[in-house]
Each structure stands twice: as C-alpha cells, then as structure tokens.
Amino acid sequence: DIFLTDGVYMLILNEVYRYFPQEQVHIVYAENFIKDPVDELNQLEDFLGVPKVITRSMFIYNNTKQLFTKFVRLDGSIHVMKYTKGRPHPQLEDIFYDKLHEFYKPFNEKLFAMIGKTFDWNYRGKNYTSD
C-alpha cells in the first residue's frame, strides 16, 4: 500500500499547501524536465523572479540514452548523472498498467484540478523509460 500511496501526489500537495500558499508553489512536470530541462528551469527562474542563467549550452545530450546526462555547472565543472539514469525498466503485463491507471485516475483528476493543468500520466506502453 505504501508504494501506491507514494504516487498519490494530491495528498502530498495538500500537505505542502498547509504550510505554503498555492502561489508560492511551482510544479515541475518530470517528463518535460527530462525532455527539455532548460525550458522547465527557465520557467522556474521566472517563477522565482531570478535572472535567467540556465542556457541550452549547459546541457549535454546522450544520444544512446536519449536524454541529457551531463550538465555544466555555473563554475564550469561538469556534473555527470548516475549511470542508471535512462535505463529501461521492467515491463508489466498490460493488466497491471490498466489497474494502476484505474487506481490513480481519481487522485490524478483531483490533482489536476488543484494545480490547474494536466499531465499525460496514462498508459505507459512497452518502451517507457525514466529515472
């Protein structure tokens, strides 16, 4: 049960909203961050009202893993993500994806209503990777 409730983000966000008003909370969509970290980080810079210092030249794309695995820090040093990032995850049978989707759907709908946007958290297909 704990593994399932960890994915009920609206419960976590409710706790955050107990201490911080919604206008002080910025939500990052991880899938977009993985695909385009610069855009997501620029949105965060805007939200925080700080100067934009994040640029595309700070990120190094790994064609094999098909994601950004290195980035250049402001001091010029290069940070390399763990080798496990971008690895394929074990695939479940379709029935498990369907059950997970069914379980999370009402919670996700409440979350989307809370934050005023939606994310594509539906069926993940056979080639989905993350981490």
Contact 7, 104 (CB under 8 A): yes
Give me the mean pLDDT over the 27-51 stretch.
Answer: 93
User: In this predicted structure, what is the pLDDT of residue 12?
Assistant: 93
> Is 89 annotated as a binding-site member?
yes
End-to-end CA distance of the chain: 22
35 is an annotated ligand-binding site residue: no
85 assigned binding-site residue: yes
Residues of the chain above pLDDT 70, percent:
91
130: which 2 tokens? 């993350």
86 marked as binding residue: yes
pLDDT tens track for 18-35: 999 999 999 998 888 888
Three-state secondary structure of the chain: CHHHHCCCHHHHHHHHHHHCCHHHCCCCCHHHHHHCHHHHHHHHHHHHCCCCCCCHHHEEEECCCCEEEEEECCCCCEEECCCCCCCECCCCCHHHHHHHHHHHHHHHHHHHHHHCCCCCCCCCCCCCECC
Q: What is the pLDDT of residues 57-103, one digit of tens each?
A: 998 888 888 888 888 888 888 888 887 777 777 888 888 888 888 89
What's the CA angle centered on 118, arms 130 and 58, to 5 degrees? 50
